[in-house]
Amino acid sequence: MDSHSTAAIAVEALVKRYKSALAVDGISFALPPGSVTGLLGGNGAGKTTTIAMIMGLVTPTSGRVTVLGVEMPAQRYRVLHRMNFESPYVDMPMRLTVRQNLSVFAQLYAVPDIAGRIANLAVELDLTEFLDRPTGKLSAGQKTRVSLAKSLLNRPDVLLLDEPTASLDPDTADWVRARLERYRADTGATILLASHNMNEVERLCERVIIMKRGRIEDDDTPARLLARYGRQTLEDVFLDVARGRGEKREVAE
């Protein structure tokens, strides 16, 4: 059966060229429904461009992307209400209150019973005390909780995360990861997580795709990557790949 019809996310021979720069250079992968996959790579590896093409925000130079069986970006209107995205690098309007911001996004996603959904998320994600505070007046940790609430408003079947815990203190980052784990367990959503935090990836992801200069350098489970490179941590595997020592250091028995 065609992987594009059965996978939650599928990319095939995907290329994105910006003038003379090749941001994504012919990558392919298929993510089954309910899976959590880590997308690793240094700055400039092509992670964010890949996520933007999966979201239908950027049109590929060549290749194919499908989400929930639908071609992106041509038919994205058919599935956008079933997807969502979180990144600490995308700010919400600062003058609007948290409640106002969440209401606007809920309308964009055609969420039924918006007031009820916001009330439920406020309890679940501990937002109640600052729901009517301007978003610009929040701490970094509070903004992260609001960003997580925004990404879960429409109960997405596909959740794309671009470094969701960047610059957070360890306690807040752990709180976010626990909420993501619970959401996936409760809903069976498919999650693609771009991250520089290797502990986060080891905890959340059952599969890791490592990109370098727009290409996929490796793609496997965390355990098999550790075994193949002869390393104790994913961070060491990542450094091997990033520094060109990725010749899969098979450990002699």
In a domain, 13, yes or no: yes
Query: Whole domain around residue 191: which residue ranges?
Result: 3-242
Q: What is the rounded average pLDDT for all residues in the chain?
A: 90
Residue 98 lies in a domain: yes
Residue with tokens 């038919």: 75
Looking at residue 4, its pLDDT comes to: 63
User: 247 versus 169: which is more confidently predicted?
Assistant: 169
Which pLDDT value is given to residue 246? 54
pLDDT attached to residue 138: 93
% of the chain surpassing 90 pLDDT: 70
Whether the pLDDT of residue 249 is over 80: the answer is no
Label residue 121 by pLDDT band (50, 70, 90).
Answer: very high
Q: Are 140 and 128 in contact (CB under 8 A)?
A: no
Count of structural domains within the chain:
1
Predicted pLDDT at 1:
45
Q: How far is CA 153 from the centre of its chain?
A: 16
Predicted confidence at residue 185, as pLDDT, reads: 94
pLDDT value of residue 85: 93
Question: Tell me, what's the pLDDT at 251?
Answer: 44
Residue-wise pLDDT tens digits, 31-70: 999 999 999 998 889 998 999 999 999 999 999 999 999 9
Q: Is residue 253 part of a domain?
A: no
d(CA 177, CA 174): 5
pLDDT at 250: 47
Q: Which pair of structure tokens corresponds to residue 144?
A: 């992260």
Residue 252 lies in a domain: no
Is the predicted pLDDT of residue 243 greater than 80, yes or no? yes
CATH number at residue 19: 3.40.50.300
pLDDT, position 195: 87
Distance CA 105, CA 118 (A): 11
Instruction: Check whether 211 has a pLDDT greater than 90.
Output: yes
Contact 193, 38 (CB under 8 A): yes
What is the pLDDT, as a whole number, of residue 176?
A: 87
User: What was the pLDDT predicted at 132?
Assistant: 96
Give the pLDDT of residue 237. Answer: 92
* Whole-number percent of the chain with pLDDT over 70: 94
**Does 249 map to a domain?**
no
What is the reported pLDDT for 3?
Answer: 58
Q: Which residue has the tokens 């599928």?
A: 10
- Position 2 scores a pLDDT of 54
Q: Tell me which of 112 and 1 has the higher pLDDT.
A: 112
